[in-house]
Amino acid sequence: MTSSVANGARLHYMDNLRALAMLAGVLFHAALAYSLALHPFWPTADAEHSAWVDVIAWFSHLFRMPLFFVVAGFFTALLVAKRGMGGMLRNRFARVLLPFIIFWPIAYITMGWLITHAVIQCENLSPLLSMIKQWMALPNPPAVPPTLMHLWFLPYLLCFCVLVWVAITLEMTWLTLIFRQLRIGILLTLAPLVLVLPLASVVAPFRAPESFFPQWWALVFFGLYFTFGFQLFQHQEIIDKLKPYAPLTLLFAVITYVIFLMLLEMKNAQWHMLVVLCEAYAGFWLTLCSLYYGKKWLNVRNRFLRYIADTSYWVYIVHLPILFAIQYRLLDIEAHWQVKFAISVTSTLLIAFASYHLLVRNTIIGTLLNGQRRKT
């Protein structure tokens, strides 16, 4: 299996899972405008919001990016097997570093302009925009450090790829040995414990590590998922071994998530470790279930899914400025949050997909993001 994959056979479910994880990010960011928990902190926070948005949004948040990093680790191992270490690094620099260098400044400037525009134009400002308006009125407004924004995952991904080179150069074979010894029971019951330490140092649910300086918790937390994905490439049978446990794991994950939400609602600092424990277990179990059900249901060669997989990287890169532009407009419109959510998601996806089809797919940008397209 591994050798056939390394020789060019596609793993459709991994492609599709990556695409879904990226597109789920669009829904997640759109939902945050109507979240109760993030109302004071999110730029497009709308007067219309609901606690139900948090229930659904944070559920996807617990495993969306972990799943992305598992898939990224898997594909990194595939690249090493297929093209060697130099080939993998060259590929990652071209597909990850270069898009980041090109698109981050554009996204950053656009977001800055959108915020300034919204502060001036909108009547019903979100709490964060109101604060920014007050700052802007100061004679010497404080300088806000630039952040990685929604593209934070690109530098982390690059960092993990460099660390793969470090681990192989320093012959850290014990990582592979540990994984080889791992039994499915231990994976399901004890492995999530290693995620507790990084999660315990940050607020729950964990936020995106948007700072330009590497955050240790994010390096460890997402790095563990990346390592899991990297090792999974050599031991793909693990996904099949999940078969008897998958339904129960999913059930336990949902129950743990409900407990997690209830504990969060209590807002008691003494319960923090328990909150983190639930967060680690629910997130890990949901990631495993995504892998299992992804392989079961999404392992199909399908032109539509292939197109979505090709599109997802571009859609994710451009979605936030488009989404914010739309949601700033919606701040002054009276409508139910569900209507606003539907409008913002549909419009964002339409614009992002159309721009991909017209400006990216058959141009140099498409080659930059997805490489040379193969005919299916």
Residue 345 CB, shortest distance to another protein, in Å, is 33
CA–CA distance, 104 with 98 (Å, rounded to integer): 10
Contact with another protein (CB under 8 A): which of 3, 120, 138, 145?
145
The answer to whether 229 touches 69, Cβ cutoff 8 Å, is yes
- Applying CB under 8 A, does 211 fall inside the site for another protein? yes
Toward another protein, which CB reaches closer, 213 or 304? Answer: 213
Contact with another protein (CB under 8 A): which of 52, 165, 252, 353?
165
Residues forming beta bridges with residue 50, ordered by sequence position: 35
Q: Which stretch binds another protein (CB under 8 A): 59-67, 215-223, 237-245, 292-300?
A: 215-223
What 246-249 contacts at long range (C-beta under 8 Å, 24+ apart), as own/partner pairs, is 246/288, 246/289, 246/292, 246/293, 249/188, 249/285, 249/288, 249/289
CA–CA distance, 297 with 300 (Å, rounded to integer): 8
Contact with another protein (CB under 8 A): which of 2, 90, 130, 212?
212
Peptide bond into 205 cis (omega under 30): yes
Toward another protein, which CB reaches closer, 166 or 300? Answer: 166
Question: What is the x/- site pattern for another protein, positions 222-241, by CB under 8 A?
Answer: --------------------
CA–CA distance, 237 with 311 (Å, rounded to integer): 29
Contact with another protein (CB under 8 A): which of 102, 159, 182, 202?
159
Contact with another protein (CB under 8 A): which of 170, 267, 270, 364?
170
Closest CA to 39 of 129, 121, 100, 114: 129
CA–CA distance, 182 with 342 (Å, rounded to integer): 44
Contact with another protein (CB under 8 A): which of 215, 227, 347, 370?
215
- Applying CB under 8 A, does 214 fall inside the site for another protein? yes
Closest CA to 43 of 97, 117, 106: 117
Residue 165 CB, shortest distance to another protein, in Å, is 7
Residue 145 CB, shortest distance to another protein, in Å, is 4
Toward another protein, which CB reaches closer, 191 or 219? Answer: 219
* Site of interaction with another protein (CB under 8 A): 143, 145-146, 159, 162-163, 165-166, 169-170, 211-216, 219
